[in-house]
Structure 1
Amino acid sequence: MAPVSTAGKTPMSSHTTFSEPQTAIVTGASRGIGRAIALRLAADGFRVAVNYAGNAASAEEVVQAIHAAGGSAIAVQADVARAEDVQRLFATTLDAFGRVDVVVHSAGVMTLVPIAPDSLDAFDHVVGTNLRGAFLVLGTAAQHLPAGGKIVAVSTSVIAKSFPQYGPYIATKAGVEGLVHVLANELRGRNITVNAVAPGPVATELFLEGKTDEQVVQLGKLAPLERLGQPEDIARVVSFLVGADGGWVNSQVVRANGGFA
């Protein structure tokens, strides 16, 4: 059994009118956008399952930050590309909190390679995590969420730019958006919303890796707001989508990108 950190039971605030606090699973929550989403949802009053693939120390830091603010959280290791891991992620969360109301799928990888036969290994790796992982997480969420549940997947606004060497990444994220629209229709009548958030360039380790300072500056200037997004910018949009005010938004891709695309 992978390591799991347990938490207290006192939420930071009441997010809804439910008689008990709601629970959110956030995949890829040990760093970057996923970390910001986990912290924001905890601040909104959710009990949070902080999923991570390999960085247990970073996931534990997120859990401890939530505890320090008076919230409830656990850290759960799971590789989203492995069906048995995803099942264990949901089972562990249910054992700890008794319910799963919100699932935010943020886990992802990005490898920049040209579209060429020599890039096939990198392509398979990106597809495994980004697309297979989304299929598994979203599909498992659909099995467990009650009426009123919310599912959000993280896509990317770079789909509209078609930058060289982004082929595998863009292909997988376009696939994720397709899954969101189809799943929303498959859940017809169950009162569960399914949406995606598509960030533009955001100052995270995933985005900055492999880029020169000059490239980062150039990308930051592309949006009319002339800055890189921050993980908290995306977390605010997710908070809206999974909160009461976002209840009428369904089967949509919200391009949170400062006008980037």
Structure 2
Amino acid sequence: MATSSGLLAGRLALVTGGGSGIGRAVCSIFAREGAILAVADRNKSGAEQTVSSLPDSSQHTAYETNVASATEVSKLLQDIESKYKQVPSVAVHAAGINKDNFLLKLDEQTFDDVVNVNLKGTFLVNQALARAMVKWQVQDGSIVNISSIVGKNGNLGQANYAASKAGVIGFTKTAAKELARYKIRVNVILPGFIETPMTAGVPENVTQMIVDMIPLRRMGTPEEIAEVCAFLASTRSSYITGAVIDVNGGLNF
């Protein structure tokens, strides 16, 4: 059973993109803080591995979900409600992809693929979850969306990714305004250069160049993002909504 103490004791939490990287770290930190996890990912085995790594793993559940599909997102919420007889009161939407190329070489399908997962997926998950929260009259609801520093500053070879993540920022600010009346808070985190599968493929010389630009002189860890997520998901951040929080070691390239 969930621990009786912790920032999120007894709360049911949905984490998308929970099969790896930041999403997996969020699941670990949330479980430490007493939450029950619904772990969603396109990669079912990744989500299952996350669940198996959590304490009291039998109370957590893995779900295979494509966040760019309204049908699958709707089914995800229905399945969670059916299993737990409640809906999540907190969520971290960390699902995202990148398919990088320079603007002059970027094809339409690659642009669409990234926007569909990163931006449309944010819309679909937030909308479905907020509707469920309103229906169940959830108190102290909290949604944390994961954007990127690239959504604020842009980056070479990432026009599609930057556009999608900038959209997440604007979307979150609007959702926060609209959902406040239902006591649902919505905030967005902008990670910097974090040690995840997404950054693992960056050439070593490029990685070093970026690290040299970071005032703290190192890459961040997924756990450092997850700790901020836990704060925003908890009632300790009860007067914070519509906030855009940089977690980037001071990097503003």
TM-score range (shorter-chain normalised) is over 0.9
Counterpart Cα distance in 1 of 2:106 and 2:218: 35
Counterpart Cα distance in 1 of 2:113 and 2:57: 38
TM-aligned CA deviation for residue 111 of structure 1: 1.2
Q: 1:80, 1:137 within 8 Å by CA — same for their partners in 2? A: yes
Aligned pairs for 1:26-41 within 5 A: 26-41=15-30
Which residues of structure 1 form unaligned runs of 5+? 1-9
- Mark the CA change 1:30 to 1:118 in structure 2 (over 3 Å): closer, same or farther: closer
Is 2:211 the counterpart of 1:224? no
Aligned pairs for 1:61-80 within 5 A: 61-66=49-54, 68-69=55-56, 72-80=59-67
Q: After the TM superposition, which parts of structure 1 deviate over 6 Å for at least 4 consecutive aligned residues?
A: none
The corresponding residue for 1:132 is: 120
TM-aligned CA deviation for residue 95 of structure 1: 1.5
Counterpart Cα distance in 1 of 2:8 and 2:144: 21
TM-score scaled to structure 2, two decimals? Answer: 0.92
The corresponding residue for 1:11 is: 2
Instruction: Specify which structure has the higher proportion of helix.
Output: 2
- The size of the alignment, in residue pairs, is 247
Q: 2:150, 2:165 within 8 Å by CA — same for their partners in 1? A: no
CA-to-partner distance for each residue in 1:97-117, whole Å, 9 max, x for gaps? 222101211000011112237
TM-score scaled to structure 1, two decimals? Answer: 0.90
Aligned pairs for 1:40-189 within 5 A: 40-53=29-42, 55-66=43-54, 68-69=55-56, 72-99=59-86, 100-116=88-104, 118-145=106-133, 146-189=138-181
TM-aligned CA deviation for residue 93 of structure 1: 1.2
Provide the secondary structure at the position in 2 that maps to 1:104. Answer: strand
Counterpart Cα distance in 2 of 1:80 and 1:107: 7
- Matching residue's letter, 1:104: V
How large is the Cα RMSD of the aligned pairs? 1.7
TM-aligned CA deviation for residue 43 of structure 1: 1.1
Between 1:112-121 and 1:128-137, the stretch displaced more is: 112-121
Between 1:181-190 and 1:28-37, the stretch displaced more is: 181-190
Q: 1:111, 1:126 within 8 Å by CA — same for their partners in 2? A: yes
- Matching residue's letter, 1:245: R
Provide the secondary structure at the position in 2 that maps to 1:187. Answer: helix
The corresponding residue for 1:201 is: 193
The corresponding residue for 1:7 is: none
Is 2:224 the counterpart of 1:233? yes
Counterpart Cα distance in 2 of 1:227 and 1:37: 20
TM-aligned CA deviation for residue 201 of structure 1: 0.5
Which residues of structure 2 form unaligned runs of 5+? none
